């Protein structure tokens, strides 16, 4: 017999799809075909047109390794044995070489898809942890440490979690990681869990300039897990605490007032009390706290520090008392603000302001003025000066009744009785004047007093 015929031609490899051929995932450029049978499959999720690919990229359709070469053309066959009475056949042509197959990826690949459940995927879950403040008073102060401890980790999947998983901290809002070396998660069987003591240490952010309200900011911290360089969505957990100071201003107790500020005559003194509240669960060392009071020249000028003399117990308050004296030369109806700063550990953490109005006391004379001018809380020094020039320009004399300084108009708001020295009955046949915008004045004037004032000995007031 003659020599063998030519080898068979290599079977061409079908084109690969651009994405997942089954639509199971939306990962682009991960489509591939089996080099043996041409079955289309996805390298991302492992699904094929013949079903889920087996482990190690074994084709569900033909059982071959999907990424192997499709093969080359066969070699020339060997010569056959001599035949009887036959002449030798002519040599067959050699087949052309088939194209080289693509190289398979090296090593194992772990695919994690959101919402995709598989018995062949690793799983990590962080179930909880505890946040501790640095000094144990229950308050996370600015620039203090937040400690993450007792981190509970479990394996909710159906595959054993291998060595190599790592737990790490996350600073997600108003904080920074101070110490965050990863902690190894030990191998865990399906359904097993472990509590890792930690700790991780994070630092709370700093407070901006203090304001009139107590400082408060949300600190967001967390933990996340990784395996083979990949993060797990279920293996992450965040928590939040409030950054604040353990002390804050409470109530400000001053003399009685019916307006927006505290009235005080020239040369007079007012006493104020300020409460400082401890909202922590530890006593506050008094040496770490003081209040600085800053006053303008019309109220004596300068600043002074008010010390705290006793520890402030948890949930309790300290009350500081200080006087404010109005300068004798201060202008009537001028307003002056004093400021108090609460300092803790050597830095101001909150401030407050209150205003003192230089008020006039009613001082009747033997001969009443042409006008009784009522001044309310809204009338400041510039406006009063305008009114004074108007009345003087009209040739009118005037007496003053300051609603703030006299605590009311018809009645003393402190006692709801007539004032010891009252204007009622002293200014008959005289003009009563108050600015239209001074609503507290009109509200504090009794209608019966107005009618009585307008009544004369010769007749009655018009209705």
User: Which one has a higher pLDDT value, 183 or 29?
Assistant: 183
User: Which one has a higher pLDDT value, 127 or 102?
Assistant: 127
- % residues pLDDT > 90 (the chain): 51
Bridge partners of residue 151, in order along the sequence: 196
Report the C-alpha gap between 202 and 364 in whole angstroms. Answer: 69
pLDDT recorded at residue 379: 85
Is a pLDDT exceeding 70 seen at residue 460?
no
Strands, E, within 217-346: which ranges?
217-227, 230-243, 247-253, 262-264, 269-278, 289-294, 303-307, 317-325, 335-344
Mean pLDDT of the chain: 82
Starting at the edge strand found earlier in the chain, the sheet holding 217-227 runs 183-184, 166-173, 217-227, 230-243
Is a pLDDT exceeding 60 seen at residue 81?
no
Report the C-alpha gap between 456 and 427 in whole angstroms. Answer: 11
Is a pLDDT exceeding 60 seen at residue 87?
no
89-102 pLDDT, tens digit each: 555 565 555 555 44
273-313 pLDDT, tens digit each: 999 999 999 999 999 999 999 999 999 999 999 999 999 99
Domains, the chain, ordered by start: 1-109 (no CATH), 125-243 (2.60.40.10), 247-358 (2.60.40.10), 371-454 (no CATH)
pTM above 0.75, yes or no: no
Bridge partners of residue 357, in order along the sequence: 263, 335
388-427 pLDDT, tens digit each: 999 999 999 999 999 988 989 999 998 999 999 999 988 8
Query: In 3-state terms, what secondary structure has residue 449?
Result: helix
Query: In 3-state terms, what secondary structure has residue 402?
Result: strand
Q: What does the H/E/C string look like for 330-377?
A: CCCCCEEEEEEEEEECCEEEEEEEEEEEECCCCCCCCCCCCEEEEECC
Going by pLDDT thresholds of 50, 70 and 90, the confidence category of residue 108 is: very low
Are 114 and 222 a contacting pair, CB within 8 Å? Answer: no
């Amino acid at each position: 017999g003659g020599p063998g015929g030519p080898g068979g031609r290599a079977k061409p490899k079908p084109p690969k799809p651009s994405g997942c051929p089954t639509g199971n995932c939306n990962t682009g450029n991960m489509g591939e075909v089996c080099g043996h049978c041409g079955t289309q499959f996805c390298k991302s999720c492992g699904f094929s047109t013949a079903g889920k690919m087996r482990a190690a990229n074994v084709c569900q359709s033909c059982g071959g390794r999907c990424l192997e070469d499709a093969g080359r053309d066969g070699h020339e066959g060997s010569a056959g044995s001599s035949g009887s009475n036959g002449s030798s056949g002519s040599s067959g042509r050699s087949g052309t070489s088939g194209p080289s197959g693509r190289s398979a990826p090296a090593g194992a690949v772990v695919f994690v898809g959101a919402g995709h459940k598989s018995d062949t995927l690793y799983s990590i879950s962080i179930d909880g942890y505890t946040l501790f403040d640095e000094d144990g008073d229950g308050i996370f102060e600015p620039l203090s440490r937040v400690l993450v401890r007792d981190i509970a980790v479990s394996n909710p999947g159906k595959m054993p979690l291998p060595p190599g998983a790592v737990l790490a901290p996350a600073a997600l809002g108003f904080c920074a990681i101070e110490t965050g070396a990863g902690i190894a998660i030990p191998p865990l069987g399906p359904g097993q869990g472990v509590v890792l003591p930690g700790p991780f240490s994070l630092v709370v952010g700093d407070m901006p300039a203090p304001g009139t309200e107590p400082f408060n900011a949300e600190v967001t911290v967390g933990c996340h897990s990784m395996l083979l360089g990949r993060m797990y969505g279920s293996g992450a957990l965040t928590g939040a605490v409030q950054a604040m100071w353990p002390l804050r201003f409470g109530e400000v107790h001053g003399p009685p007032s019916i307006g927006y500020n505290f009235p005080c005559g020239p040369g007079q003194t007012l006493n104020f009390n300020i409460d400082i509240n401890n909202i922590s669960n530890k006593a506050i060392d008094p040496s770490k706290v003081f209040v600085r009071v800053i006053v303008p020249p019309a109220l004596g000028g300068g600043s002074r520090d008010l010390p705290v003399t006793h520890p402030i117990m948890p949930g309790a308050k300290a009350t500081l008392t200080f006087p404010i004296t109005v300068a004798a030369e201060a202008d009537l109806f001028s307003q002056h603000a004093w400021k108090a700063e609460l300092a803790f550990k050597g830095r101001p953490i909150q401030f407050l302001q209150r205003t003192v109005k230089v008020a006039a006391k009613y001082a009747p004379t033997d001969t009443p003025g042409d006008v009784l001018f009522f001044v309310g809380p809204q009338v400041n020094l510039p406006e009063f000066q305008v009114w004074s020039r108007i009345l003087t320009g009209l040739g009118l004399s005037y007496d003053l009744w300051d609603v703030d300084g006299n605590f009311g108009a018809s009645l003393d708001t402190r006692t709801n009785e007539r004032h010891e020295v009252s204007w009622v009955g002293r200014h008959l046949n005289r003009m009563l004047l108050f600015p239209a915008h001074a609503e507290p004045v009109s509200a504090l004037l009794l209608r019966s007093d107005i009618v009585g004032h307008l009544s004369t000995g010769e007749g009655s007031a018009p209705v």
